[in-house]
Amino acid sequence: MEQNRTEIAQLGSELQAMQSQVIELQTQLAETNGRVDALEQTIESYTASLTKLDEMQAALEKNIGEGDVKLAAELKREIMLTRSIEYLSRARLYLSQSNFGLAREDVQSARDLLAEIQANEPDFKTEALNQVIARLDLALGNLPSFPVIAGGDVDIALHLLMSGLPEGMALPTATPTVEWTATPAPTSTSTPEPSPTPTP
């Protein structure tokens, strides 16, 4: 059991390092300004982080001992929240590349993780988590046809997650208009973007 606790504590330290990396990647993303090479490098960084987080979650689930259930459950939830942030951050990059199919896949992956947290812990920040999931449902409904509108909802969901899911936070009643600097993506399988007319 002591070994299990040590391994769980080590995973907790690794998660803190990964969360710091998320913040660093967010800063890099703000500085890319649509440059294709920088976008590709940042996408690769998010992909590597997601792989590492997935491995951490698998290791955690393997090493849960009887006396460590609560601690392990909290750490697993934090890993899943961090994975959701990474998926949505990468989805924003795919949106900027007009790669709406891959963006939709990442939004769906984040939504699935959050729904799992909600199912396992129905009392965990219920209101805020409901708001995030509702925004992601809107984004999924608008992809691939209306990526600009979807991008606004992804941004709001990401902001809530990065803010630690604050309860009682007032959100806009209408999806804001977000300007995306689109760059062509050779691997994109999406159709050309129509001209949506957002409604409040």
Contacts 24+ apart (CB under 8 A), 13-22: 14/56, 15/53, 15/56, 15/75, 15/78, 15/79, 15/82, 18/49, 18/52, 18/53, 18/56, 18/82, 19/82, 21/45, 21/49, 22/49, 22/82, 22/85, 22/86, 22/89
The verdict on residue 54 lying in a domain is: yes
* pLDDT at residue 148 greater than cutoff 70: yes
Say if 184 falls within a structural domain. no
Is the pLDDT at 36 greater than 50? The verdict is: yes
CA distance 157 to 165: 9
pLDDT score for 46: 87
Position 87 pLDDT exceeds 60: yes
The domain in which residue 108 lies consists of 2-162
Q: Does residue 49 or residue 137 have the better pLDDT? A: 137
Phi/psi region, residue 120 (left: phi>0; alpha: psi -120 to 50; beta: rest), is alpha
Report pLDDT for 172.
Answer: 44
Is 177 domain-assigned?
no
Q: pLDDT tens-digit profile of 101-121? A: 999 999 999 999 999 999 999
Please give the tally of structural domains in the chain: 1
Residue 189 lies in a domain: no
Q: Is residue 78 part of a domain?
A: yes
How far apart, in whole angstroms, are the C-alpha atoms of residue 24 and residue 111?
23
Q: Is residue 195 part of a domain?
A: no
Give me the pLDDT at residue 110, please: 97
Name the packing angle between helices 126-142 and 100-120 (round to 10°): 150
